[in-house]
Structure 1
Amino acid sequence: MSSKQHAAILCSPGMGHLIPVLELGKRLVTHLNFSVTIFISPSSEAELKAATSTKILDIVQLPPPDISGLVGPDTSVPTKLVVMMRELRQVFRSAVRAMKFTPTMLIVDLFGTESFPIAEELGIPKYLFFASNAWFFSFLICCLTFDKEVEGNFVDHKEPLKVPGCREFRPQLDVFDVMLYRTNQQYHDFVGIASRIPKCSDGILLNMWEELEPTTLAALRDENLLGRHLTVPVYPIGPIIRPNDLSCSKGKVFDWLDKQPSESVIFLSFGSGGALLHEQMTEIAWGLEFSQQRFIWVICAPTTTTADAAYLTTDCDDESPLKYLPEGFVDRTKDLGLVIPFWAPQVEILAHPSVGGFLSHCGWSSTLESLTNGVPMIVWPLHAEQRVNATLLTEEFEVAVRSKIPPWKKVVDRKEIEEMVRMIMEDQKGFVLRERMKKLKESAAKALGEGGSSRNALSQFAKHGESMYMKLANVNVRH
């Protein structure tokens, strides 16, 4: 590159948004000699700590906006995020203009697209970092078409939604809750985001790699297929995840794991924003106990509402979530596994050779952590795009199993949970899934290596950004 590039990155609140953005920033610095400034408005101390612990990035903390008068107690999480990012625009604009130098590009995540005009004011290129998979992105850019073609609510639509060149979406199973009801504000917010992407961005960064979804990527680049909705380049630069921190691989959990046979432990975690109904927690506990498989289970207190409503308001500050488990469960299973309140070092646990299965909400970061460690999954989608991820894992990649009835529709009973755990951990099908997972692990490592597809895509993105910046600078000089 002829000159050093300076990326300004705007990140939405939430640890699931922050971690991929931080890792993207690190990669731009270490691989491409960028300087990177990340703008955050943290919603928790954990987010602030994660951001400020990274020394090679400049972190600018934006004051959290007061949206109490703009949303109600029942407002969905996506709408809250849209409102928060909309209210941050003026503060973000001022913060960018106060920088010692004008950045050479702006990168935003999905909820930051309303800040694209700030890049236009500065005369710099603007990119979307879509920290998920290509199939979900294909749905996103078809949203306007679906909005016009589908009559009534999507939840009542019986026919699959056709996506040119790739897998169709089934409203009852794959279409995420944000899009199910036109009467909800979150529907209109999401369609609004989708409408801005093809019109306003100069390129798309995807958190996956070329070899993971080649058919969907080909459709996105084909002007006769999905490419007719999208005229900007797509760069699959993943997997971008938090690296394994060996300093976290200490203590009681890892002392216990070190004593277990290879691939004999199933890890259960529903993410930083995942919460279950009390009845479902009880069924999982009994299913685990009946399976007689070794386990590590990270638990929070149950939600009294929906999983989506619990996303930003989980009860994980409860003093003792273990009290919600069946009486005697911890004592009866003390030789089988560990129950950990609130949080555990997920990346390090999944990387441990004793772990052979992962029961997960299948958020995309958790999915990538499982893929890159070769650990087969039981998928348990709760909200957002997790339904999409669950279908990819079970039907496209064939590295996971799922319950017969989706867990957002009905409590999954203990017998089925026992069967799924046994299937993953000791049945022949589990061994087949594990072998497929290990091939994906090898594929991901190759993509990230020197000369790999993701490393090359990142370099191509940087060259595109430099070229766009020079082009816009010349236009501004002429005017």
Structure 2
Amino acid sequence: MPITKPHVVILASPGLGLLIPILELGRRLAQLNLQVTVFAAATDSSDRISQQIDSQDTDLVEVVVLPPVEISGLVPPNAILPAKILAIMHESLPLLRSAFSAMTTCPKALIVDVFGIDALAIANEFEMLKYVFVASNARLFSISVYAAEVDREVLEEHVNQQQPLKIPGCSPLRFEDTLEPLKDPNGPAFHGFVGLAMAAATSDGVLINTWEDLEPTTLRALRDSKLLGGTFKAPIYPIGPVSRPTGSSISENRILKWLDDQPTESVIYVSFGSGGTLSAKQTIELAWGLELSQQRFIWVIRPPSESDASGLFFSSGKKSSSFQDYLPEGFLTRTQKVGLVVPMWAPQSEILEHSSVGGFLSHCGWNSVVESITNEVAIIGWPLYAEQKMNATMLTEEMGVAVKSKELACQSIVGREEIERMVRKVLVDKESHGLKKKVKELKFSGEKALSNGGSSYDSLSKVAGRVSGRNE
């Protein structure tokens, strides 16, 4: 059947953290009268991608999972996670080019995430509009823009002397929150990071999963010709909050049934994203901390990893039958009336939406942050990798919707007493009232941004208008 609407293709990098917001972005564009196809790059362990797509409403969006590619000879086994994802995306480019060549009518626009910027060259080949989608926040993107233009001496001072990185118009980036690519200005990870900003500057616009009221200062700096906007000329489109909507297909899930029996805002939800892991010793301390808090909990647990906090990012997500082996003896028996331990995966958006959930112990990946805010749930920040330390600082010090432990600063073990303290602070102590008040305000501002005539609604409408040939 010939395509009659303007056609937009979105290229998604591996990992549910990018696929989930991209699917939602695709649905919103489809609701603005565009034909949308999502091409999802895959690894050898791609069954989680298929499961996620199956759970989504694909009536509006066509989803194509690209064949897995092999990167074992391209990056060393100990390469950091971004390097592995970039290698997968590079090897997937011929597949995308072939898909475009086979289409009867060429798409009007290509949208890529931050790992797919090399695909913008393909958009040029086919004379398409090209956009970059930042599934994280404006703060992360502003650092990329600044790093692309700043003197190397400034970066070296930040790394070697551990001085804050002063970004024009934005809050300084403290060394303890710095990003891995910045630690080696001569390394491939750094070149990939600044390459994002340089490629995005040549695009027709940057879509960011944030909204005007959430990051007003950073967005202003990106647009101000006297600040970051002096060198970065592409339009900035805040279109958030972009998060996965809850679905009715899992309404009978046993976790949700358990939540139905718990008091309002009495449960702490514990999860470290789609691939985050803890060490064996930290897993034990977390278990003891939850038990000592005497609060209700749902804990999504994974096998410990001693060397890689993102060790399960590319895993299949299959449940482990032996999780009891890395919990304190008798823990499950002692907590069976107040806690629920779930191997590997849980329906996060549905859990956070439930009225019984009052807090979220999170790795502070941006998807989880957005889902927590939009469901009015305060956060315990437990960052593991990528930009999560920076996110945790934003949430605690700038937005006031989270608490975090100082013990995480040097990757030390967070003790059970500290975990107990944080859980109680979010759920039952006096401080919980201020956290809940602030997160409620941010939830309301996000809803307002997405409403018809709101700032994020108007931003995405402008993109759709340009793709459709309308002057907006």
TM-score (norm 2): 0.94
Matching residue of 1:390: 392
Tell me how far 1:467 sits from its aligned partner.
Answer: 4.9
Matching residue of 1:219: 221
- Equivalent of residue 92 in structure 1, options 93, 96, 99: 96
Could you tell me which amino acid in structure 1 is paired with residue 326 of structure 2? Answer: Y
Q: Would you say 1:26 and 2:27 are equivalent positions?
A: yes
Matching residue of 1:476: none
Matching residue of 1:283: 285
Matching residue of 2:115: 111
Stretch moving more, 298-307 or 406-415: 406-415
In the TM superposition, 1:132-281 aligns within 5 A as: 132-146=136-150, 148-150=152-154, 152=156, 154-172=158-176, 174-182=177-185, 184-198=187-201, 200-281=202-283
Tell me how far 1:107 sits from its aligned partner.
Answer: 0.5
Residues 1:147 and 1:19: Cα distance change in structure 2 (over 3 Å): farther
Could you tell me which amino acid in structure 1 is paired with residue 35 of structure 2? Answer: S
SS at match of 2:249: helix
Could you tell me which amino acid in structure 2 is paired with residue 19 of structure 1? Answer: I
SS at match of 2:48: helix
Q: Would you say 1:77 and 2:84 are equivalent positions?
A: no
SS at match of 1:211: coil
List runs of 5+ in structure 1 lacking aligned partners.
471-479
Residues 1:253 and 1:315: Cα distance change in structure 2 (over 3 Å): closer
Please say if residues 157 and 171 of structure 1, whose CA atoms lie closer than 8 Å, have aligned partners that are also in contact: no
Residues 1:50 and 1:252: Cα distance change in structure 2 (over 3 Å): closer
Please say if residues 277 and 311 of structure 2, whose CA atoms lie closer than 8 Å, have aligned partners that are also in contact: no
In the TM superposition, 1:427-442 aligns within 5 A as: 427-442=429-444
How far, CA to CA, are the matches of 1:166 and 1:141 in structure 2?
Answer: 12
Matching residue of 2:40: 40
Please say if residues 6 and 105 of structure 1, whose CA atoms lie closer than 8 Å, have aligned partners that are also in contact: yes
Residues 1:251 and 1:21: Cα distance change in structure 2 (over 3 Å): closer
How far, CA to CA, are the matches of 1:128 and 1:298 in structure 2?
Answer: 32
Root-mean-square deviation (CA), in Å? 2.0
CA deviation profile, 1:131-154 (whole Å, cap 9, x unmatched): 111111111111123462335485
CA deviation profile, 1:147-187 (whole Å, cap 9, x unmatched): 62335485433221111111111122x21223223465323
SS at match of 1:378: strand
Residues 1:327 and 1:314: Cα distance change in structure 2 (over 3 Å): farther
How far, CA to CA, are the matches of 1:301 and 1:316 in structure 2?
Answer: 11
TM-score (norm 1): 0.92
Could you tell me which amino acid in structure 2 is paired with residue 13 of structure 1? Answer: P
Residues 1:314 and 1:251: Cα distance change in structure 2 (over 3 Å): closer
Please say if residues 269 and 360 of structure 2, whose CA atoms lie closer than 8 Å, have aligned partners that are also in contact: yes
Stretch moving more, 46-55 or 241-250: 46-55
Please say if residues 208 and 236 of structure 1, whose CA atoms lie closer than 8 Å, have aligned partners that are also in contact: yes
Could you tell me which amino acid in structure 2 is paired with residue 21 of structure 1? Answer: I
Residues 1:222 and 1:465: Cα distance change in structure 2 (over 3 Å): farther
How far, CA to CA, are the matches of 2:82 and 2:410 in structure 1?
Answer: 18
Matching residue of 1:380: 382
Please say if residues 399 and 433 of structure 1, whose CA atoms lie closer than 8 Å, have aligned partners that are also in contact: yes
SS at match of 1:438: helix
Tell me how far 1:387 sits from its aligned partner.
Answer: 1.4
- Equivalent of residue 356 in structure 2, options 354, 357, 362: 354
SS at match of 2:465: helix
How far, CA to CA, are the matches of 1:279 and 1:178 in structure 2?
Answer: 28
Please say if residues 356 and 375 of structure 1, whose CA atoms lie closer than 8 Å, have aligned partners that are also in contact: yes
How far, CA to CA, are the matches of 2:318 and 2:20 in structure 1?
Answer: 20
Tell me how far 1:460 sits from its aligned partner.
Answer: 1.5
How far, CA to CA, are the matches of 1:154 and 1:369 in structure 2?
Answer: 32
Please say if residues 268 and 427 of structure 2, whose CA atoms lie closer than 8 Å, have aligned partners that are also in contact: yes
How far, CA to CA, are the matches of 2:160 and 2:315 in structure 1?
Answer: 29
SS at match of 2:115: helix
Please say if residues 322 and 341 of structure 1, whose CA atoms lie closer than 8 Å, have aligned partners that are also in contact: no
Tell me how far 1:102 sits from its aligned partner.
Answer: 0.7
Report the identity percentage: 48
Residues 1:279 and 1:147: Cα distance change in structure 2 (over 3 Å): farther
Please say if residues 107 and 128 of structure 1, whose CA atoms lie closer than 8 Å, have aligned partners that are also in contact: yes
Q: Would you say 1:364 and 2:366 are equivalent positions?
A: yes
Residues 1:154 and 1:189: Cα distance change in structure 2 (over 3 Å): farther
Could you tell me which amino acid in structure 2 is paired with residue 156 of structure 1? Answer: N
SS at match of 2:407: coil
SS at match of 1:350: helix
How far, CA to CA, are the matches of 2:85 and 2:253 in structure 1?
Answer: 36
CA deviation profile, 1:447-466 (whole Å, cap 9, x unmatched): 11122111111111222344
How far, CA to CA, are the matches of 2:404 and 2:234 in structure 1?
Answer: 36
Residues 1:432 and 1:381: Cα distance change in structure 2 (over 3 Å): same
Matching residue of 1:448: 450
Please say if residues 303 and 315 of structure 1, whose CA atoms lie closer than 8 Å, have aligned partners that are also in contact: no
SS at match of 2:166: strand
SS at match of 2:116: helix
SS at match of 1:73: coil
SS at match of 2:106: coil
How far, CA to CA, are the matches of 1:373 and 1:217 in structure 2?
Answer: 24
Could you tell me which amino acid in structure 1 is paired with residue 431 of structure 2? Answer: K
How far, CA to CA, are the matches of 2:283 and 2:143 in structure 1?
Answer: 32
How far, CA to CA, are the matches of 2:310 and 2:302 in structure 1?
Answer: 15
Please say if residues 76 and 308 of structure 1, whose CA atoms lie closer than 8 Å, have aligned partners that are also in contact: no
Tell me how far 1:190 sits from its aligned partner.
Answer: 2.2
Tell me how far 1:250 sits from its aligned partner.
Answer: 2.2
Please say if residues 317 and 345 of structure 2, whose CA atoms lie closer than 8 Å, have aligned partners that are also in contact: no
Please say if residues 301 and 316 of structure 1, whose CA atoms lie closer than 8 Å, have aligned partners that are also in contact: no
